[in-house]
Structure 1
Amino acid sequence: MTEPAARPYASLRDAAALIVGTADPVEKARLTALAREAWMGRTLSLTRPTLDRAMPNRPGRPPRPELLPPRAMPRRSLGGAKGRIAFLHAIAHIELNAMDLAWDIVGRFAGEGMPRSFFDQWTRVASEEALHFGLLCDRLAEHGAAYGDLPAHDGLWQAAEATGGDLAARLAVVPLVLEARGLDVTPSMIATFEEMGDEESAAVLKRIYEDEKGHVYVGAAWFRYLCDRAGQRAEPAFHRLVRTHFRGALKPPFNDRARSAACLTPGFYRPLEVVRT
């Protein structure tokens, strides 16, 4: 296959490495759209081993925001204009990391013998995360702020580092633990923004919430696929992988309805539940 001269990558795996390593979030989102279009247009191969660059160990990031350890992050609340900006900024940072995590799945596990539909779906996830980031940046701008104005959490890439050698573990921890947690907490955030009269921000969170159900569904479906391929039962495999690779705890309350709609049934997460005392 002859690649167009203007294309800055040799394959989908090469595009994933380029995008994850790109520091400018706007350029990262632009490259995401181009790579997704080329892949779905069937003009891009999955890999070109002699040309593909290595996946970065960490994603490229702009000089700002300042990245802090989780314990050093200032506490935030949704009260007042500053609290609203801090919250939108934090969610924008999560969505930026989610875009990179989706591309890291594509690039790091391109040699796992997965069906083409696996890459169709994860490039869609990456595109939706890029859209979410852009929508949140627009809301920040309308509040007189921008991504990078506040410090951000530097612990979000730990999940990628802990699961870089195991696709099943990556699916268990990222979509089925971290993204599933978003299904639990986002409805109350939407309600809070609506109570404050910020219907525009609430609408962005509603879009993110609906898309994230699909992302958890994609993770659950492919996790089950890998378990079937390996002759393993999905729920015990999930419990083992989460206990091995996830440092945190699974704490209620859980949005059982949204999780079940995303094909993540209680038998996955309830046995790992840690009850607050």
Structure 2
Amino acid sequence: MQIQSLHDAALAALMLPDPDGKCRATDALLADRRAGRLAVVAGADDPAPVTEPGRPPRPELVAPQAVPMRRAGTREGHAALLHAIAHIEFNAINLALDCVYRFRALPAEFHDGWLAVAAEEAHHFGLVRGRLRALGFDYGDFPAHNGLWEMACKTAGDPLARMALVPRVLEARGLDATPPIMAKLKAIGDRDSVAVLEIILRDEIGHVALGDRWFRVLCAGRGLEPEATYVELIEAFDAPRPRPPLHVEARRAAGFSEAELARFGAPPAGDQRLP
């Protein structure tokens, strides 16, 4: 049996433009890794970041403020809401694959964790795309922004910054945003999409927790205090500061401490206002 580099295979999947092909390749990566056909090759991190991963020609990428606001109660607004979620999940596949490809100086456990995340994100993308198609739309039908990948580019040179600012900032914002989105979907009677978001929320807690774990491991290796370093990195990279309302139960499950939650405006543990 010929054993190939997991990092090279992850790069090949990362650069695939077709969403279905990328999802299939990600599933195959996980299967091949678990079967022993792909190996983590110890070495230095790749010095050349991927600035443009594989993506389809649509959706059109625009500035965040240029993404139109639509009411979920309309047919187009309903679809646009699901499209935004699908876009996040598609980007999340690329983010996880980039971790596997890029940060090869880290242990095999790191790569196995993010490869499993990539496969879960591919599953999420398929679920949301299915709901979008059920409404008569598809991925690419609405404009979207590129904020998640732009942060990946900014943090390409440092896995500590990547773990802090992608899982613990941007993806943790998704934990906060999901319950209000579920409420909107319930209000318009879309129970099937609510069920999909319940799966995504459950899995995303684990994804943020994985980022939290490696952030703290990397801080320990550099002699840094994690929670102060987190705030410093948010400021240094001009990342969005966590703001209430926070999904405190999800954030606790993902590894955020009571001190961190309080710093960002969460009520104290035991407060009846918790979600």
Which residue, 210, 216, 221 being the options, matches 1:224?
216
Residue by residue, what CA displacement relative to the aligned partner does 1:5-61 show, whole Å, maximum 9, x if unpaired? xxxxx4111122112211111111111001111112222111398xx9965222111
1:252 paired to 2:244: yes
Equivalent position to 1:45, from 28, 39, 42: 39
Q: What is the alpha-carbon distance in structure 1 between the residues aligned to residue 78 and residue 116 of structure 2?
A: 29
Moved more, 249-258 or 128-137: 249-258
| TM-score (ref. length: structure 1) | 0.89
CA–CA distance in structure 1, aligned partners of residues 198 and 129 of structure 2: 16
Q: CA-atom RMSD, angstroms?
A: 2.1
Correspondence for 1:75 among 52, 62, 69: 69
1:143-182 pair list within 5 angstroms? 143-182=135-174
Offset of residue 195 of structure 1: 2.2
Q: Give the structure 1 partner of residue 8 of structure 2.
A: 14
Range 169-178 or range 35-44, more displaced: 35-44
Structure 2 counterpart of 1:221, one-letter code: R
Any residues of structure 2 matched to 1:79-98 within 5 Å, and which? 79-98=73-92
Q: How far 1:102 moved relative to its partner?
A: 0.6
**C-alpha separation between the residues in 1 aligned to 2:53 and 2:139?**
16
Deviant stretches of 4+, over 4 Å:
52-55
Runs of 5+ in structure 1 lacking a partner? 4-9
On the 8 A contact 1:175/1:215 being kept in 2, the answer is yes
Q: Are the structure 2 counterparts of residues 182 and 97 from structure 1 closer, same or farther at C-alpha, using a change threshold of 3 Å?
A: same
Provide TM-score, normalisation by structure 2. 0.90
Tell me, which stretches of 5 or more residues in structure 2 are unaligned? 266-275
* Alpha-carbon distance in structure 2 between the residues aligned to 1:43 and 1:64: 34
Matched, 1:102 2:96: yes
Match in the other structure for 1:7: none
Q: Which residue of 1 aligns with 2:270?
A: none
CA distance in 1, matches of 2:94, 2:57: 17
1:238-260 residue CA offsets vs partner (Å, 9 max, x unmatched): 11122112433322111111101
User: In the alignment, which residue of structure 2 is the partner of 1:6?
Assistant: none
Following superposition, the deviation at residue 76 of structure 1 comes to 2.3
Structure 1 residues 253 and 185: alpha-carbon distance in aligned structure 2, compared to 1, 3 A threshold = same
Structure 1 position 196, deviation (Å) = 1.6
Structure 2: how far apart are the matches of 1:220 and 1:36?
A: 22
Aligned residues: 264
Displacement of 1:81: 1.5
C-alpha distance 63-117 of structure 1, shift in aligned 2 (>3 A): same
SS state of the match for residue 80, structure 2?
helix
8 Å Cα contact 2:148/2:166 also seen in 1: no
